[in-house]
Amino acid sequence: MSKIMIQGTASSVGKSLITAALCRIFKQDGYSVCPYKSQNMSLNSYITLDGKEMGRAQVLQAYAAGLEPEAFMNPILLKPTSDMKCQIILNGKVYDNKTAQEYTDIKETFQEMLKNDFEKIEKNFDIVVMEGAGSPAEINLRSHDIVNMGMAELVDAPVLLVGDIDKGGVFAALAGTLLLLTPEERDRVKGTIINKFRGDINLLSPGLDMLYDIIKKPCLGVVPYFNLLLEDEDGAVAEIKKNKTAPIDAAVVMLPHISNFTDVDALKCEKDVSVRFITSREEFGEPDLLIIPGSKNTIDDLVTIRKAGLEKRIIDYSRKGILLGICGGYQMLGQRIKDPYHVETDKGEVEGMGLLPITTELETEKTMTRVKAVLNFNGVKGQVYGYEIHMGKSSSESVKPLATIVEKNGENVSEAEGAVNEKGNVIGTYIHGILDSPNLRNMLLNKIRKQKGMALEISPVYETVRDRELDKLADIVRESLDIKSIYAFMGIKR
């Protein structure tokens, strides 16, 4: 079994997509491939078929490799709940809530587990493409590292170092990162990759020669800047778009603890829809569709947007526009949110926006399920699918459900899901990814198109678009990198 590890000079330099590209390239070349990230910090997560939680970046990489996502691809997921504390997901299940120092104190106890589990993965695949986190040059974290050089050393993986030229200072970033590594760590780095390049490659070439003279590591290629319909990287929305660029304006409330913002990615597949993020009353504008997404701290986020005056704009908008709340956003639309066990905050309970007749109580047990449901909304009877990740339950005696769940984690059920107001324009759901399936998306957008006098459209299947875009990504990266040398670093002759 062979392996390669992608590390970066910083967060958001493109490690996740380079890893996904290599997964797809190796798959195209006939190898069985598995993505792997030992520790991921992200509020973008996903539920596997067996009801386990993992980071979304490894989900995309799994699809690139032609695999169903599984939690062993991301054994440790950290979900920040505040600036100093996070929820630890271990092998897909909630392990504990810890401060940064408390987690640092126990990290080394996971090393043996990571090593043993990785050895099992090696036996089942030809190639494992590993991804680091942040930068390996965080010298204050070296002694406890289990995700960058610490993990590479644990399993003896060669490393490629990625730098982002679009940020500026890429030569300094690459040289500086290598300078801060130990001699043994530098030996593990086999080459560099420059990512997100715009301009004339001939003007860059002299710099590549000078960089080699300094670091004695070959540049394995320069990847151009590109725009593909693929998920943003897992840490945060890298580029928050705030302007309308298409006839249909979909606005997303950028919550302080926003989670699963990938729920809106399917809208980007629609040729007449633009997605923008709003953080203030001034940015609100006149959207055709308003989405309140998930949150890792629903109560604090509701209080924050209330203080900022955004809540009043949302309530005013709900009288005429189409409003969709997903998970935490759904909870905010209700009458009250109660937190008797102080799962999120010490506030106890807060009043909701009062737009849906539900009351939510946060619980200590997390719901993690993959679901299929049948819409019962505005005459639409199509199926939708997705997953639930939430700490609360919402109840009502008079709610009009959005759908009926017919399958949970592979078992047949019949349960009411979500809520819709009497006018049918305020919608709440716990189903993440509900817009990936075309039925609800198509119904909402065609309603808007009809109101605006636009031609009706048939929404594309998001999974088909994603697979096509992954092939495009692989083509771009294959053309840009010295793939033959990468194979050689892994001990594979081609």
pLDDT digits (tens, 9 = 90+) for 396-452: 888 899 999 999 999 999 999 999 999 999 999 999 999 999 999 999 999 999 999
Residue in 34, 86, 219, 432 annotated catalytic: 432
Residue 245's CB is within 10 A of a number of other CB atoms, namely 10
Question: What are the tokens at 121?
Answer: 């993965």
CA-based angle 197:202:206, to the nearest 5? 95
Active site residue 390: no
Closest CA to 71 of 370, 414, 342: 370
- Integer-rounded Cα radius of gyration of the chain: 23
In this structure, are residues 268 and 239 in contact, taking their beta carbons and an 8 Å threshold? no
Place of tokens 């006149």: 286
State the pLDDT at residue 1.
Answer: 85
- Distance in angstroms (rounded) separating the CA atoms of residues 281 and 272: 25
State the pLDDT at residue 165.
Answer: 98
In this structure, are residues 361 and 331 in contact, taking their beta carbons and an 8 Å threshold? no
For 43-75, write each residue's pLDDT tens digit.
999 999 999 999 999 999 999 999 999 999 999
Q: Which residues pair with 36 in a beta bridge?
A: 130
State the pLDDT at residue 376.
Answer: 84
Structural domains of the chain, ranges and CATH numbers in brackets: 2-230+467-489 (3.40.50.300), 248-453 (3.40.50.880)
Phi (first) and psi of residue 335, to 5 degrees: -80, -45
Helix (H, G, I), strand (E, B) or coil at 403: strand
Helix (H, G, I), strand (E, B) or coil at 377: strand
Query: What angle, rounded to 10 degrees, do the helices at 201-215 and 170-179 form?
Result: 20
Q: Which residue blocks in 334-461 are alpha helix, DSSP H?
A: 438-451
Question: What are the tokens at 146?
Answer: 């289990």
- Which of the 8 DSSP states describes residue 180? T
Listed as ranges, residues in the chain with pLDDT below 50 are 235-238
State the pLDDT at residue 237.
Answer: 46
Residue in 23, 86, 327, 390 annotated catalytic: 327
Closest CA to 171 of 140, 228, 115, 211: 211
Active site residue 342: no
Strands 53-55 and 45-47 turn out to be antiparallel
State the pLDDT at residue 233.
Answer: 59
